[in-house]
Structure formats: C-alpha cells, structure tokens
Amino acid sequence: MRTFGGFKSGTEFFYGEVRGEDVHLLAKPYWIALERTGELRKLGQLDVDLPVAPSKLIAVGLNYADHIAEMKRTPLETPLIWFKAPSSLLPHNGKIEIAFPVHQTDFETELAIVIGRRAKNVSAEQARDFVCGYTIALDISDRDLQKSEKQFGRCKSFDTYTPIGPFVYADIDVGDLPVELRQNGEVRQKARTSQMIYSVSEIVSFASQSLTLMPGDVILTGTPSGVGPIRAGDKLEARIGDWPPLRNPVINAN
C-alpha cells in the first residue's frame, strides 16, 4: 500500500508520499505523475490539507440495501449519481459548518475513489486500471432541502459539506473493508464495503459511460445505514479499515 496526501507548511502547499514519519515531496500531483523532488519533510511538522483537487466530485446514492430501507426508498436498476461542488471539500480536522442549523443535517460516511487516468466508456473489467487510489469521505446532507428539491446538488454542496482524507491509498484491495462512523465517540454507522450493491469497478464503468472521468476526479460510493443528524459541538470520526481516521468537528456557520 502506498500513501499520498496534500500538506501545508506555513503558506506552502505541496503533495507528497508518506513513508513512516517522512513525507517525500512530489513535483506534481500524485494522480498525474510520481515524480519526487528529492526533498523530505517530517509528517509531524506539517499540516494535513486536502489530498485531492478534482475537476468533478461525483456522489453515488442508495448503494447499501440497509440504507435504502432506512430512507424508505426503492432500489434502482443502475447506480444513482449526481454532482457535488468541489468547493464543498474539507480537509481532515477542518470544521463542518452547518449552513442552516434549524434544518436536519445528517452525516454519511463513504469510501471515495480517486481516478488516475482519463476514462471514457470503460468496462467493469477494465475499470480498476483507471483508479489511482481510495480515501475516506463524508457526505454531509441537508435533509430539509433534499426533501423539498428534486435534485441533490444544493443540499449536499454547501461549503465544508464534503470532508475527505486524511490520505489517499493506492495499491490496496477495498473489496471487503470495515466502514465506521463515530459521533462523539459513539458508533453510528458500521458496515463493510463488500455490502455495496455496486462495486468500485461497476461504479467507475457506469460513470464513464455518461461522462469522461479525468485524472484526479473523485467518486463517493454511497453510505450504509445509521445516518443521523449533526449539531454544533459534535465531533465526527470516520474510519475505513485500519487507515488513519478522518476527524472533523461541527460548528454552526456564521
């Protein structure tokens, strides 16, 4: 397994590969080319920033049977996809700002795919060849707006509504990993990626039939059951496998 991320040192931003306590600086984003600069930094002396910069941020809905049941929805014959604004991305330890505190705003934890190669009309059998890596994401959702509007873009695209990270992992099998969300230390969501209705390969293939996936694009693969409301003061911790957890506190937007 290889580990990549985005980092800040003061005002300087860069991508790097994490090896133990060291970060090897990269000349380009890791999804473009693995070209090291030769410079090393200590992980503990850096701020972890966004590990992705997608041209498109795609979400998949209704991909776990138990979540379909809790949302009182009907299974579809194909993946359900929509777009989230890339401006909604939030790094590890960033504060989720609830846009409308009087609305029900829910957490959803998900496995996210990072695309590594331009993909158009690829088969499910080929799809893994176009994946750069995987990471943890949260799809924060304003349920009041989701129920009142026919499209999901706005209710899930407020600033800070897509926490992601801390890192991206390549050369790893994500076919059967545990997925978990803890809210203030209490387990709220618990499932395995093997419970997804549509696999990573099927999702990438399906999306590529409709549009061209570009290197760096991110696809959220859907959430299991257990979704619930967040409030100012909450602390969310999302986990997949034994990866470092994605942690984000919650506040109300000003």
What is this structure's pTM? 0.96
Digit-by-digit pLDDT tens for the chain (254 residues) are 999 999 999 999 999 999 999 999 999 999 999 999 999 999 999 999 999 999 999 999 999 988 988 887 888 888 999 999 999 999 999 999 999 999 999 999 999 999 999 999 999 999 999 999 999 999 999 999 999 997 889 999 999 999 999 999 999 999 999 999 999 999 999 999 999 999 999 999 999 999 999 999 999 999 999 999 999 999 999 999 999 999 999 999 98
State whether 12 and 80 are in the same domain. Answer: no
Q: Residue 113 belongs to what domain range? A: 57-252
How far apart CA 221 and CA 235 sit, in angstroms, is: 23
State whether 187 and 89 are in the same domain. Answer: yes
- Using CA atoms, how far residue 88 sits from 41, 79, 124, 136, 164, in Å, is 28, 22, 29, 15, 10
State whether 145 and 125 are in the same domain. Answer: yes
The structure tokens listed for 9 are 């040192």
State whether 77 and 187 are in the same domain. Answer: yes
The DSSP output letter for 213 is B
How far apart CA 236 and CA 182 sit, in angstroms, is: 6
What is the four-CA torsion angle of 195, 201, 207, 213, rounded to 10 degrees? 130
The enclosing domain of 41 has a CATH number of 2.30.30
State whether 31 and 111 are in the same domain. Answer: no
pLDDT of amino acid 215: 98
- Per the CB < 8 A criterion, the answer to whether 15 and 4 are in contact is yes
State whether 175 and 66 are in the same domain. Answer: yes
The enclosing domain of 234 has a CATH number of 3.90.850.10
How far apart CA 59 and CA 139 sit, in angstroms, is: 8
pLDDT of amino acid 73: 83
How far apart CA 166 and CA 163 sit, in angstroms, is: 9
State whether 129 and 95 are in the same domain. Answer: yes
pLDDT of amino acid 151: 84
Q: Is 38 exposed, middle or buried (0-12, 13-18, 19+ CB in 10 A)?
A: exposed
